[in-house]
């Protein structure tokens, strides 16, 4: 538990108690202590924690830093009662048992839940019965609302909390209290208001206070709607969208949470069990820790009882199956996804996974390659993306400027302007500034630091004609604008006076089309009016003479390399010329290529000395600058074929792996740059746009491509892997097979190793959207990786060194903790599930155990074991200080972490041992082997014993993977022939049941925490979700395939809550998949970017009331 005092300028000090050991401070709504932008807080600012009797604070990469007693901290720092922690302008004090903060003369203020809207409390014991909510006064011109429903019946009392478990947790919001609404909630900005419906108004007046109380008290089940009021709420949610007021996002969540009975089932299980279930996944161990005496029997029985009711004749299953069939019948991809989404939504409840709804939706998602980031009402003419790749800005035909969040975390925002319709826009490199050029020549400068409320700071006036081009310098210190007359203005973005005019350039005679800064803003390239010009700048002002980059015909395209010392220009008669401009006074030019029609676009291929030229002759030519046709002749040229229509735009991804061309046939053609000398055809053609594609923008990491079209859509495409496959995210940063993968228990940290000798780590938000936080490339390929289950550490074995990286700090380039006690290459690393131990093993058979402290592993190992033979498998017990190891002699042994205790032989295999896995409670250990067997042993206090009836599971080929279900009923083992054997540990006389669906070797197995799903990964390039409950019904066990990998799936992890899984493949791709239905539905809505239209709904579901599926779409 954490007890702190918070002091904010202009507000009284408040003392707050958190029933948890970690509190995150920042601006994001999901943080425990949420601050404002005005407080000087970053989105994710700092973390307070209580570990092993001591308190700590650490900065999470904030812009302004975190201070302790006036000193800025650079690492995890211990604090004591009375210490002052500064987070921006807010001061936080650790309060001791005696109330240390009170010694400063501030009265203690306890957080409230009923009358203080800035504090939200989540109560884990049974809530008190809700009082009847009085209706709000009706507006004068409308009938009075109906009387409020009677108070709901008191929920049955919950048992007393288990000893040691907190009875509540608190979320604090330090923003100004949200005012209670008037009779009708304000409509979202930009949406037309319709006629007010009296029934909707009356329903809202009753439901709104109940929904707010439900939210403020932590959304307890006892306050959900039921009876007639629930029916009225559902009618309101499904009413005509033109009638006002419409239900807000909170209202819809409250109504649909009341409709579903899944929460009641989970609550009942929780009341019977009275214990907390935690799933642990990490390193080389798959473990599920439960309170066996309270959870396992009741939870399993409850789940089996619920499954028994989910037969094909169950009305809920029948309804969901009919909707799933409707989805499968749709030939339009977007309609198929929306119909599948409705089917999954309708299936919510105990039988959610027993219908065909999830399968129908996942199949529909696998067919859609793009994700619709934005959908407007007018053709998009211009787009730009921020370097952090989250913000995207578009300008459409009407002049509307719309700011999109690529992750979908916030709704699109239309930016108003009093200075004319927008023409062009550009985002600054740090994501703070947005410059918009208008038709009147004004430049609107927006501050985006507060993402939810962009602020128009200045309207800059210099141009007399419409602004046609804008760009920022690489460091953000300057930006330049160009207009239709050919004038260019340079602006200062340094200091507090952002937007000061520095100078004007007047070399062009026609509209400026493109502007490019290079060399830290000391050179500006401009293109327009059929000419390209280079200008040296000093402090944003012209320095010396400008250079006209002339060419034989009228210039039609130009491009600048990353260093800024080479420029290519193309003209109307098809010539491509290169200018070498280290200095403008000594610039040189030479001819590169020739087209039979005008040059449409040009680009340099990153990572290669090559130029791409695109012409109206439908030719895409690659000119190799450092390769000659023969000695002393012209540069080598390669023509890429397959373009079926006249081209419009060209893009090369920043990693140099893909070349994309948008054509007039509304398609995007993609070539593999690495195969340009061996294969001239596109590797994929994207064809989901229905009108002209105006621009294509590759992401800075090269993983995706953004396209803006006259059809009004902004689409995101997987650039390196053609099939999105229904994944939340596809990461293709590695340049070779994935060899290691780690995931924290909360799903918030992920790390990967590749044959490209690279280590990478990401943060994952609650939507499964990744953000890279670490990248390292080594001289030799690392052999082992593990991520601690708390997500704080990643350990990697690089040659003979053990490197441990912190994943919790805000450093962009964190330095590893080095331990060098191995004499041979490290082959295995694993953290213990309680995060207290780290174990490393090398090819000589040496094993070191390291005690993990708050600042990393201790300097020396707690124990060193010398096996004398190379280690082939390693696992750490989940609830006792032991580890199991298999060596090249095919023996499995068990060792204590510390002391001089000797080994205990567990089992002797006939051939090499491939994996070791403990059960969640640590009472089983299974070893899989090349000898086609999985051998099972019981474990008790470091001693193992054979199970006479279940000593081994036999396969027909080598067994690579094994997993225990969290309820301890099932052992799953997978072999090279693609067969998974399901062994019932409770029914020792029954034979194992085979699951067949994969074509080749099973490489990984995991159960989700509820034991409903088994997830398998295979070398056949797919994963599968197996419905475990089908084993009790007899017949075929259904499975849902997850496809998209272009090579064998080599690694897989499932997070502790079963919300998502991550897979890595030989194709170098990492894929984040949704497991829970809420994530799956959110993915579907983000993929299509819209909801059903009224016509689509009435055609598919005639006579049925409209049900909103996708919030804000």
- Return the number of other C-beta atoms located less than 10 Å from residue 667's C-beta: 19
Q: What is the DSSP letter of 128?
A: P
pLDDT of 812: 62
Segment among 72-86, 547-561, 963-977 with least mean pLDDT: 72-86
Residue 1113's pLDDT band (boundaries 50, 70, 90)?
Answer: low
CA torsion through residues 593, 596, 602, 605, sign: negative
Q: What is the DSSP letter of 187?
A: P
- Identify whether the C-beta of residue 490 lies closer than 8 Å to the C-beta of residue 447: no
Structure tokens at 885: 């190891």
- Identify whether the C-beta of residue 178 lies closer than 8 Å to the C-beta of residue 185: no
Q: What is the mean pLDDT of residues 416-430?
A: 91
Segment among 105-109, 841-845, 994-998 with least mean pLDDT: 105-109
Q: What is the DSSP letter of 1097?
A: H
**pLDDT above 90 (res 361):** yes
**pLDDT above 80 (res 97):** no
Looking at domain 736-1084, its CATH class is mainly beta
Structure tokens at 598: 């005008």
**pLDDT above 80 (res 348):** no
pLDDT of 808: 84
Query: For residue 217, which phi and psi values (nearest 5 degrees)?
Result: -95, 15
At residue 360's C-alpha, the angle toward residues 354 and 363, to 5°, is: 130
What is 378-548's CATH topology?
Methylamine Dehydrogenase; Chain H (2.130.10)
The closest alpha carbon to 337, from 724, 731, 698, belongs to: 724
User: What is the C-alpha to C-alpha distance for residues 205 and 184, in angstroms, rounded to an integer?
Assistant: 8
Strand order in the sheet with 647-652: 647-652, 658-663, 668-672, 684-686
Q: What is the DSSP letter of 355?
A: S
Residue 998's pLDDT band (boundaries 50, 70, 90)?
Answer: very high
- Identify whether the C-beta of residue 447 lies closer than 8 Å to the C-beta of residue 433: yes
Indicate the SS3 state at residue 37: helix
Residue 631 CB-density burial (10 A; 0-12 exposed, 13-18 middle, 19+ buried): exposed
Token match 């306050």: residue?
Answer: 223
Indicate the SS3 state at residue 59: strand
What pLDDT digit, counting tens, does each position of 1040-1078 carry? 999 999 999 999 999 998 999 999 999 999 999 999 999
Q: pTM for the full model?
A: 0.72
**pLDDT above 80 (res 752):** yes
Torsion angle, alpha carbons of 409, 414, 415, 420, to 10:
160
- State which H helix or E strand residue 298 sits in: helix 296-309
pLDDT of 222: 65
Residue 159's pLDDT band (boundaries 50, 70, 90)?
Answer: very low
User: What is the C-alpha to C-alpha distance for residues 654 and 619, in angstroms, rounded to an integer?
Assistant: 22
Token match 């090579």: residue?
Answer: 1047
**pLDDT above 60 (res 727):** yes
Q: How many residues can be counted in the chain?
A: 1113
pLDDT of 402: 95
Query: For residue 99, which phi and psi values (nearest 5 degrees)?
Result: 80, 60
User: What is the C-alpha to C-alpha distance for residues 837 and 857, in angstroms, rounded to an integer?
Assistant: 8
The closest alpha carbon to 481, from 414, 528, 531, belongs to: 528
Residue 408's pLDDT band (boundaries 50, 70, 90)?
Answer: confident
**pLDDT above 90 (res 629):** no
Q: Which residue has the higher pLDDT, 909 or 986?
A: 909
Residue 75's pLDDT band (boundaries 50, 70, 90)?
Answer: confident
Residue 811's pLDDT band (boundaries 50, 70, 90)?
Answer: low
Segment among 43-47, 113-117, 458-462, 488-492 with least mean pLDDT: 113-117
Q: Please list, in sequence order, all residues whose beta carbon lies within 8 angstroms of the beta carbon of residue 996, skipping any fewer than 6 positions away.
A: 978, 979, 980
- Identify whether the C-beta of residue 873 lies closer than 8 Å to the C-beta of residue 914: yes
Segment among 54-68, 164-178, 579-593, 730-744 with least mean pLDDT: 164-178
**pLDDT above 70 (res 59):** yes
Q: What is the mean pLDDT of residues 468-490?
A: 96
Q: Which residue has the higher pLDDT, 278 or 471?
A: 471
**pLDDT above 60 (res 42):** yes
Residue 50's pLDDT band (boundaries 50, 70, 90)?
Answer: confident
Segment among 290-304, 507-521, 632-646 with least mean pLDDT: 290-304
Q: Which residue has the higher pLDDT, 820 or 705?
A: 705
What is 2-193's CATH topology?
Tumour Suppressor Smad4 (2.60.200)
Q: What is the DSSP letter of 1079?
A: H
- Return the number of other C-beta atoms located less than 10 Å from residue 1112's C-beta: 12
User: What is the C-alpha to C-alpha distance for residues 371 and 715, in angstroms, rounded to an integer?
Assistant: 5
Indicate the SS3 state at residue 100: helix
- Identify whether the C-beta of residue 720 lies closer than 8 Å to the C-beta of residue 702: yes
- Identify whether the C-beta of residue 280 lies closer than 8 Å to the C-beta of residue 833: yes
What pLDDT digit, counting tens, does each position of 631-656 carry? 667 888 999 999 999 999 999 999 99
Residue ranges per structural domain of the chain: 2-193, 378-548, 556-640, 642-722, 736-1084
What pLDDT digit, counting tens, does each position of 183-222 carry? 333 444 444 456 677 778 778 878 887 887 777 666 777 6
**pLDDT above 90 (res 579):** yes
pLDDT of 1064: 96
To the nearest 5 percent, what fractions of the chain are helix, strand and coil? Answer: 15, 40, 45
pLDDT of 218: 66
pLDDT of 277: 30
Radius of gyration of the chain (CA): 31
User: What is the C-alpha to C-alpha distance for residues 49 and 466, in angstroms, rounded to an integer?
Assistant: 54
Query: In angstroms, what CA-CA distances link 230 with 9, 213, 262, 392?
Result: 43, 16, 16, 39
Percent of the chain with pLDDT over 70: 84
Fold equal for 378-548 and 736-1084: yes
HSE at residue 1101, side-chain half, CA atoms within 13 A, is 21
Structure tokens at 879: 């609830």
Q: What is the mean pLDDT of residues 827-856?
A: 94
Q: What is the CATH number of domain 642-722?
A: 2.40.10
Separation of CA 1108 from chain center: 25
- Identify whether the C-beta of residue 379 lies closer than 8 Å to the C-beta of residue 367: no
What is the maximal distance between C-alpha atoms in the chain? Answer: 93
Question: What mean pLDDT is reported for the chain?
Answer: 83
Q: What is the mean pLDDT of residues 661-685?
A: 93
- Identify whether the C-beta of residue 939 lies closer than 8 Å to the C-beta of residue 918: yes
Q: What is the mean pLDDT of residues 801-826?
A: 87
Query: For residue 662, which phi and psi values (nearest 5 degrees)?
Result: -95, 135
Q: Residue by residue, what is the 3-state secondary structure of 655-671?
A: CCCEEEEEECCCCEEEE
Strands 500-505 and 512-518, sheet pairing:
unpaired
Query: In angstroms, what CA-CA distances link 339 with 114, 331, 365, 1032, 1073?
Result: 41, 11, 11, 30, 20
CA torsion through residues 934, 935, 941, 943, sign: negative
Phi-psi region of 456 (alpha: psi -120 to 50; beta: other; left: phi over 0): beta
Q: What is the mean pLDDT of residues 118-134?
A: 40
User: What is the C-alpha to C-alpha distance for residues 172 and 330, in angstroms, rounded to an integer?
Assistant: 46
User: What is the C-alpha to C-alpha distance for residues 148 and 205, in angstroms, rounded to an integer?
Assistant: 9
């Amino acid at each position: 538990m954490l007890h702190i005092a918070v002091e904010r300028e202009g507000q009284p000090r408040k003392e707050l108690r958190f029933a948890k050991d970690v509190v995150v401070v920042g601006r994001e709504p999901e943080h425990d202590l949420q601050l404002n932008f005005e407080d000087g807080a970053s989105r994710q600012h700092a973390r307070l924690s209580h570990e092993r009797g001591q308190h700590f604070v650490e900065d999470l990469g904030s812009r302004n830093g975190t201070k302790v007693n006036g000193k800025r901290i650079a690492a995890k720092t211990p604090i004591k009662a009375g210490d002052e922690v500064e987070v921006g302008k807010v001061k936080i004090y650790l309060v001791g048992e005696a109330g240390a903060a009170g010694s400063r003369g501030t009265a203690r203020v306890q957080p409230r839940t009923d009358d203080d809207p800035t504090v939200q409390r989540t109560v884990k014991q049974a809530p008190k019965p809700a009082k009847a909510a009085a209706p709000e006064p009706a507006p004068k011109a409308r009938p009075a609302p109906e009387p409020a429903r009677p108070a709901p019946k008191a929920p049955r009392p919950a048992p007393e909390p288990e000893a040691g478990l907190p009875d509540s947790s608190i979320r604090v919001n330090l923003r100004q209290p949200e005012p209670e609404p008037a009779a009708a909630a304000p409509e979202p900005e930009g949406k037309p208001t319709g006629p007010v419906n009296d029934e909707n108004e009356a329903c809202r007046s009753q439901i709104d206070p109940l929904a707010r109380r439900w939210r403020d008290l932590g959304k307890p089940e006892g306050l959900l709607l039921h009876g007639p009021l629930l029916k009225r709420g559902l009618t309101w949610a499904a009413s005509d969208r033109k009638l006002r007021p419409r239900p807000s996002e909170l209202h819809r969540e409250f109504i649909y949470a009341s409709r579903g009975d899944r929460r009641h089932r989970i609550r009942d299980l929780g009341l019977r069990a009275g214990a907390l279930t935690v799933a642990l996944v990490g390193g080389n161990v798959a473990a599920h820790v439960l309170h066996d005496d309270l959870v396992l029997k009741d939870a399993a029985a409850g789940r089996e009882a619920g499954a028994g009711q989910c037969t094909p004749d169950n009305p809920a299953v029948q309804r969901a199956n009919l909707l799933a069939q409707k989805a499968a019948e749709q030939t339009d991809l977007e309609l198929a996804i929306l119909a599948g989404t409705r089917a999954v939504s309708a299936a919510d409840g105990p039988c959610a996974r027993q219908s065909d709804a999830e399968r129908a939706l996942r199949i529909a998602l696998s067919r859609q390659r793009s994700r619709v980031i934005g959908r407007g009402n007018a053709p998009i003419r211009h787009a730009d993306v921020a370097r952090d790749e989250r913000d995207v800005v578009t300008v459409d035909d009407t002049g509307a400027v719309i700011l999109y969040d690529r992750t979908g975390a916030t709704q699109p925002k239309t930016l108003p302007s009093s200075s004319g319709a927008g023409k062009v826009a550009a985002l600054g490199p740090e994501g703070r500034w947005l410059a918009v050029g208008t038709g009147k020549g004004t430049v609107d400068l927006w501050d985006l630091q507060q993402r939810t409320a962009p602020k128009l700071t200045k309207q800059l006036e210099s141009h007399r004609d419409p602004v046609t081009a804008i760009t920022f310098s690489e460091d953000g210190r300057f930006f330049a604008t160009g207009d239709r007359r050919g004038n260019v203005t340079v602006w200062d973005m340094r200091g507090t006076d952002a937007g000061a005019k520095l100078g004007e350039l007047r070399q062009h005679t026609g509209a400026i089309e493109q502007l490019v800064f290079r060399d830290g803003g000391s050179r500006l390239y401009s293109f327009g009016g059929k000419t390209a010009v280079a200008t040296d700048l000093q402090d944003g002002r012209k320095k010396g003479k400008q250079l006209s980059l002339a060419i034989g015909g009228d210039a039609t395209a130009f491009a600048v390399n990353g260093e800024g010392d080479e420029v290519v220009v193309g003209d109307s008669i098809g010539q491509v010329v290169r200018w070498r401009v280290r200095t403008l006074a000594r610039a040189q030019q030479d001819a590169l290529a020739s087209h039979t029609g005008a040059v449409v676009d040009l680009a340099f291929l990153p990572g290669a000395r090559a130029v791409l030229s695109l012409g109206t002759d439908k030719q895409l030519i690659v000119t190799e600058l450092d390769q000659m046709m023969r000695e002393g002749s012209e540069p080598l040229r390669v023509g890429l074929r397959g373009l079926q229509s006249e081209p419009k735009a060209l893009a090369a991804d920043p990693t140099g792996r893909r070349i994309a061309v948008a054509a007039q046939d509304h398609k995007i053609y993609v070539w593999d740059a690495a195969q340009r000398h061996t294969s001239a055809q596109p590797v994929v053609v994207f064809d989901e746009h229905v009108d002209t594609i105006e621009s294509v923008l590759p992401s800075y990491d090269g993983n995706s491509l953004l396209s803006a079209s006259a059809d009004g859509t902004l689409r995101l495409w997987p650039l390196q892997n053609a099939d999105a496959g229904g994944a939340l995210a596809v990461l293709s940063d590695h340049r070779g097979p994935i060899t290691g993968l780690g995931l924290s228990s909360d799903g918030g940290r992920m790390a990967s190793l590749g044959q490209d000798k690279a280590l990478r780590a990401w943060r994952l938000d609650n939507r499964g959207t990744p953000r890279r936080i670490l990248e390292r490339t080594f001289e030799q390929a690392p052999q082992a990786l593990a991520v601690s289950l708390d997500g704080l550490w990643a350990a990697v074995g690089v040659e003979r060194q053990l490197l441990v990286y912190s994943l919790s700090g805000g450093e962009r380039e964190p330095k590893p903790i080095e331990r060098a006690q191995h004499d041979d290459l490290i082959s295995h690393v694993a953290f213990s599930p309680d995060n207290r131990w780290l174990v490393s093993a090398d090819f000589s058979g040496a094993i070191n155990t390291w005690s993990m402290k708050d600042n990393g592993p201790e300097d020396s190992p707690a124990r060193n074991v010398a096996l004398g033979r190379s280690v082939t498998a390693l696992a750490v017990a989940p609830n006792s200080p032991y580890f199991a190891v298999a060596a090249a002699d095919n023996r499995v042994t068990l060792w204590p972490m510390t002391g001089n205790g000797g080994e205990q032989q567990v089992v002797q295999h006939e051939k090499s041992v491939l994996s070791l896995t403990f059960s969640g409670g640590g009472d089983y250990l299974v070893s899989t082997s090349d000898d086609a067997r999985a051998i099972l042993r019981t474990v008790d206090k470091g001693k193992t014993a054979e199970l006479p009836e279940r000593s081994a599971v036999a396969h027909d080929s080598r067994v690579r993977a094994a997993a225990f279900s969290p309820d301890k009923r099932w052992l799953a083992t997978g072999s090279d022939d693609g067969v998974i054997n399901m062994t019932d540990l409770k029914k020792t006389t029954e034979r194992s049941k085979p699951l067949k669906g994969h074509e080749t070797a099973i490489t990984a197995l995991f159960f989700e925490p509820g034991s409903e799903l088994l997830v398998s990964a295979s070398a056949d390039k797919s994963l599968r979700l197996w419905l475990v409950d089908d084993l009790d019904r007899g017949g075929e066990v259904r499975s849902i395939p997850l496809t998209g990998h272009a090579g064998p799936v080599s690694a897989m992890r499932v997070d502790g809550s079963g919300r998502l899984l991550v897979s890595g493949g030989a194709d170098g791709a990492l894929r984040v998949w949704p497991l829970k239905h809420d994530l799956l539905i959110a993915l579907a809505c983000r993929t299509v970017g819209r909801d059903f239209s009224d016509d689509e709904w009435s055609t598919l579901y005639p006579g049925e009331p409209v049900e909103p599926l996708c919030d804000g779409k």
